[in-house]
């Protein structure tokens, strides 16, 4: 049995990759009804969603600038600084909401961890160049 039959075609690959790159935002939208129905803290959802979207936008902007940089040190410095600053800003936002309301802080932290897990997993699947990692080929 050939593994080629279950792999997406070359024309479908960009669509699949673009979906995977934004799966975290799709999950964020899907979780909103759960928060509403289950009675979880909407303040927690708002803080986590806001922090997630802001850090995601900043990441995209810095990544574009880092990719455009001609010096590898500049690129690495921008990437590292972005990771540190975004991490601290999110941690402070979650900490602040947790101090004001324990339930909201817990909801925000769990939601943010959920979104990060999805994003991190998708980044491991999709290479920085925008190509999927090659599937292992069966030996013939």
Let me know if residue 140 belongs to a domain.
no
pLDDT band (50, 70, 90) for residue 128: low
Give 9-69 as a DSSP string.
PTTTHHHHHHHHHTHHHHHHHHHHHHHHHHT--HHHHHHHHHHHHHHHHHHHHHHHHHHH-
Owner of token pair 């491991």: 124
Evaluate whether 47 touches 71 at the Cβ level (below 8 Å).
Answer: no
45-83, pLDDT tens digit by residue? 999 999 999 999 999 999 999 999 999 999 999 999 999
Residue with tokens 């960009």: 14
Which domain covers residue 39, as residue numbers? Answer: 13-125
User: In this structure, is residue 2 part of a structural domain?
Assistant: no
What Cα–Cα distance (Å) separates residue 99 from each residue in 50, 62, 91, 94?
17, 30, 12, 9
3 in a domain, yes or no? no
Give the pLDDT of residue 133: 46
Is 60 domain-assigned?
Answer: yes
Residue 139 has pLDDT above 90, yes or no: no
With bands split at pLDDT 50, 70 and 90, how would you rate the model's confidence at 137? low
Count the domains in the chain.
1
In this model, does residue 97 exceed pLDDT 90? yes
Q: What percent of the chain has pLDDT over 90?
A: 71
C-alpha to C-alpha distance for 9 and 122, rounded to whole angstroms:
19
């Amino acid at each position: 049995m050939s593994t080629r039959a279950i792999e997406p075609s070359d024309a479908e690959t960009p669509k699949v990759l673009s979906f995977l790159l934004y799966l975290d935002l799709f999950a964020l939208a899907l979780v909103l009804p759960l928060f509403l129905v289950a009675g979880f803290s909407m303040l927690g959802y708002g803080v986590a969603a806001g922090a997630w979207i802001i850090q995601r936008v900043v990441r995209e902007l810095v990544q574009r600038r880092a990719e455009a940089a001609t010096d590898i040190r500049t690129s690495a410095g921008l990437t590292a600084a972005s990771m540190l600053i975004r991490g601290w800003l999110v941690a402070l936002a979650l900490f602040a909401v947790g101090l004001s309301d324990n339930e909201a802080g817990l909801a925000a932290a769990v939601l943010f961890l959920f979104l990060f897990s999805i994003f991190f997993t998708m980044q491991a699947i999709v290479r920085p160049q925008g190509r999927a990692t090659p599937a292992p080929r069966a030996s013939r």
